[in-house]
């Protein structure tokens, strides 16, 4: 029987093993890495380890020319991941007890500020922030009960992808929420945005998701976290009551006539009071074309753009 190692060029495996030895030598017995306060360091180390070991088949002792080294690396990986999971469980329990977690806030702040970049990295790829959020929120995927959308909705709904955590942090920073704000996520999926905004900003949030399985999973997560000011509803954004919202978020959940209808509803709401719409992805361009909205900065489809509704007498020419 052939293995991955049979097809892996000897020089490539030699390079991998060299990098692996160097990485393990750098951490020694890893006692510093196992300290509870070293979460960021552990995550960075595990990221390096994954980059070196690559596919799981190569990372097994049976297919390596140095099985002891690979076994040592896998053992260390398991210990570090267990240390991380213990912290995630503690942060989850902290949120369930008091509605927020100082530890989670600190971890996210430390990683977001790493490298002293100005603003989040553009693009929709995930990073270590998302690993922390996934570990703490413990969201579960849908069980697929076979809910069927109409042909129109199927054509105009976009494939589900969670908002990268760095963009959620940017949304919170850009909005400067007040205690009176209510964020409504249109197309909330498994609930990352409403959950994290409530935990970090302390405001009421609502997720609108047409797929019942996704909405049910998000609602379950909110219950396990004991978040009483987060709710999810399995409804169509074109017909549900949006009147409580002051800030609306869209990660391009739909296009075409659905997006047009929802924007018409938000425009009507803006005639009663000022609202803000936060956008990420291609729908940002559509919002920029609306003469009743003013962007906070030059719109960028790969970054959060906040649009504020204008008084009826002040449309953008």
Poorest-confidence range of 63-72, 168-177, 248-257?
Answer: 63-72
The pLDDT, as a whole number, for residue 159 is: 84
Query: Does the pLDDT of residue 21 top 70, yes or no?
Result: yes
Are 242 and 215 a contacting pair, CB within 8 Å?
no
Residue with tokens 């053992």: 75
- Dihedral, CA of residue 191, residue 179, residue 124 and residue 141, to nearest 10: -10
Q: In Å, how far are 56, 143, 147, 236 from 150, measured between CA atoms? A: 40, 20, 10, 12
Question: Per-residue pLDDT tens for 85-128?
Answer: 999 999 999 999 999 999 999 999 988 887 556 678 899 999 99
Q: Considering only CA atoms, which of 229, 221, 223, 191 is closest in space to residue 207?
A: 191
Query: Does the pLDDT of residue 146 top 60, yes or no?
Result: no
Three-class DSSP category at 263? helix
Rounded to whole angstroms, how far apart are CA atoms 19 and 16?
A: 5
Half-sphere exposure (Cβ direction) of 54: Cα atoms closer than 13 Å = 14
Rounded to whole angstroms, how far apart are CA atoms 280 and 123?
A: 10
Q: How confident is the model at residue 7 (pLDDT cuts 50, 70, 90)?
A: very low
Average pLDDT for residues 152-181, to the nearest whole number? 90
The pLDDT, as a whole number, for residue 267 is: 97
Query: Does the pLDDT of residue 147 top 80, yes or no?
Result: no
Tell me what percent of the residues of the chain surpass a pLDDT of 70. Answer: 86
The pLDDT, as a whole number, for residue 158 is: 85
The pLDDT, as a whole number, for residue 2 is: 41
Rounded to whole angstroms, how far apart are CA atoms 136 and 131?
A: 9
pTM of the model: 0.88
Average pLDDT for residues 169-194, to the nearest whole number? 97
Angle of helix 39-53 relative to helix 67-98, nearest 10 degrees, comes to 140
The pLDDT, as a whole number, for residue 272 is: 95
Question: Per-residue pLDDT tens for 207-261?
Answer: 999 999 999 999 999 999 999 999 999 999 999 999 999 999 999 999 999 999 9
Residue count (the chain): 317
């Amino acid at each position: 029987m052939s293995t991955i190692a049979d097809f892996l060029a000897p020089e490539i495996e030699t390079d991998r093993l060299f990098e692996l030895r160097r990485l393990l030598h750098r951490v020694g017995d890893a006692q510093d890495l196992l300290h509870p306060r070293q979460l960021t360091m552990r995550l960075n180390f595990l990221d390096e380890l994954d980059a070196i070991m690559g596919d799981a088949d190569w990372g097994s002792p049976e297919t390596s020319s140095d099985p002891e080294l690979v076994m040592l690396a896998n053992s260390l990986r398991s210990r570090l991941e267990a240390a991380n999971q213990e912290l995630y469980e503690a942060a989850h329990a902290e949120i369930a007890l008091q509605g927020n977690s100082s530890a989670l806030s600190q971890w996210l702040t430390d990683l977001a500020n790493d490298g002293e970049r100005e603003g989040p990295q553009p693009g929709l790829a995930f990073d270590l922030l998302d690993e922390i959020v996934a570990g703490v929120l413990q969201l579960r995927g849908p069980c697929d009960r076979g809910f069927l959308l109409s042909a129109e909705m199927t054509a105009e709904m976009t494939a589900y992808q969670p908002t990268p955590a760095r963009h959620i942090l940017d949304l919170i920073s850009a909005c400067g929420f007040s205690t009176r704000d209510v964020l409504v996520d249109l197309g909330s999926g498994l609930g990352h945005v409403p959950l994290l905004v409530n935990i970090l900003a302390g405001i009421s949030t609502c997720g609108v998701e047409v797929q019942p399985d996704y909405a049910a999973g998000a609602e379950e997560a909110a219950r396990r976290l004991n978040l009483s000011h987060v709710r999810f509803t399995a409804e169509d954004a074109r017909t549900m009551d949006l009147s409580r919202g002051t800030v609306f978020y869209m990660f391009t959940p739909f296009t075409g006539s659905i997006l047009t209808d929802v924007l018409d509803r938000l425009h009507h709401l803006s005639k009663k009071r000022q609202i803000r719409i936060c956008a990420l992805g291609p729908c940002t361009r559509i919002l920029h074309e609306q003469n009743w909205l003013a962007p906070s900065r030059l719109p960028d489809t790969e970054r959060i753009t906040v649009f504020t509704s204008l008084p009826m007498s002040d449309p953008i020419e």
